[in-house]
Amino acid sequence: MSKKKRRIDKDRYGRGLTDPLPSVDPESNERIPVPERPEPKKFYAPLWAGGIVVLLVVGVILFNVFGSKDQLTVESLNPPAVAALDGGSAVYPANSKLAFTENVKFGYLPAPTLFALKDGTIVAANPETAADQMGLKKSLDEVTVSEFDDATITPPRKDTASGETITWDDLVDEIGGDTVFLPAIDSPEVAEPALKTITEAGLEDSTIVRTDDAEVARAAADANIDAMFTGDVTATGNESLSGDGYTAMAVEADIAAKWTGVDLDVWATDVKDKKQLETLADAGVVGALSTNPYKVLPSEVKTD
């Protein structure tokens, strides 16, 4: 039985083979519709950039707060503390860069004497001894900055190196934050620029100004800086010192223990040795001031 051939009368589009092809108007702008593309997701570049910046700023702040080295302050000192007068002038060239860097290295507190040169620059130098120690032929208040920079400081002991001079600004830049300063300031003229250097460096909590001038003490107090009375404590009262802005006093070692009951921190002068310092510390003395800190508290027993 033979199969019948299927008759093909439509093309694959369903049009009849004899139907006319659709005409296309060449002037027509109509296009064959295409499937719609999904709308792309918006990318807010400025917001992302802002978020990254915020994260970076927060990271820097956290590092500065938690990752940086703690600044040594008056409050964080471990009694008994020992301050090196003029950098330890019995051991090192007085008020020299070497003296102060060695102070910090071995755990002692730099206690420079501050003075103003001819142009007002504040330097670490004792006006009573600097001229002789530096070989100057005129008083310190007549010395220029260049003359001061060129001078060298004679060491107190034979066969030791001379020292370099240093300005107060440079000293603060050099070791500020790693120690507590105890600068001696004897006049308001020196106090104003010296205290400005401290406040600009943010070292108010790391400084104790030594002075017997009430105006200097008040200026220090107004700048939130501690002040230590270095005058005759027997000629004044505790209440009057506190009223003048003092927070500490320097007292001779022989009578220092008798003053520990006042509301001022007591620092002892002329301490003979480590044994006497320990006795004073047990009595409540906060620290000692010495031209030879190694004699008062040997460096091997000094802790941070």
For the chain, give every domain's residue range: 81-297
E-assigned strand segments in the chain: 81-85, 109-111, 114-116, 122-124, 152-153, 163-164, 208-211, 226-229, 248-252, 265-269, 287-290
Tell which wins on pLDDT, 248 or 28.
248
Q: Which residue has the higher pLDDT, 52 or 118?
A: 118
pLDDT band, very low/low/confident/very high, at 20 (cuts 50, 70, 90): low
Characterise 216 by phi-psi region: left (phi > 0), alpha (psi -120 to 50), beta (else): alpha
Asked if residue 83 has pLDDT above 60, the reply is yes
Contacts for 210 with CB less than 8 Å, ≥ 6 apart:
111, 182, 183, 184, 185, 227, 228, 230, 250
The answer to whether 138 and 144 are in contact (CB under 8 A) is no
Give the per-residue pLDDT at 16: 58
**This prediction's pTM:** 0.76
Residue 54 — very low, low, confident or very high, per pLDDT cuts 50/70/90? low
Q: Which residue has the higher pLDDT, 225 or 28?
A: 225
Could you report the per-residue pLDDT of 133-179, keeping only the tens digit for each? 999 999 999 999 999 999 999 999 988 899 999 999 999 999 999 99
Instruction: Report d(CA 260, CA 240) in Å as an integer.
Output: 16
Single-letter amino acid, residue 46: P
- pLDDT tens for 178-189 read 999 999 999 999
Q: Residue by residue, what is the 3-state secondary structure of 3-20?
A: CCCCCCCECCCCCECCCC
- The mean of the pLDDT values for the chain is 85
**Range in 17-26, 73-82, 206-215, 237-246 the model is least confident about:** 17-26
| Mean pLDDT, rounded, for 117-129 | 97
CA distance linking residue 35 with residue 12, whole number of Å: 22
CATH value of 81-297 in 2.40.30.40, 2.60.40.290, 3.40.50.300, 3.20.20.190 = 3.20.20.190
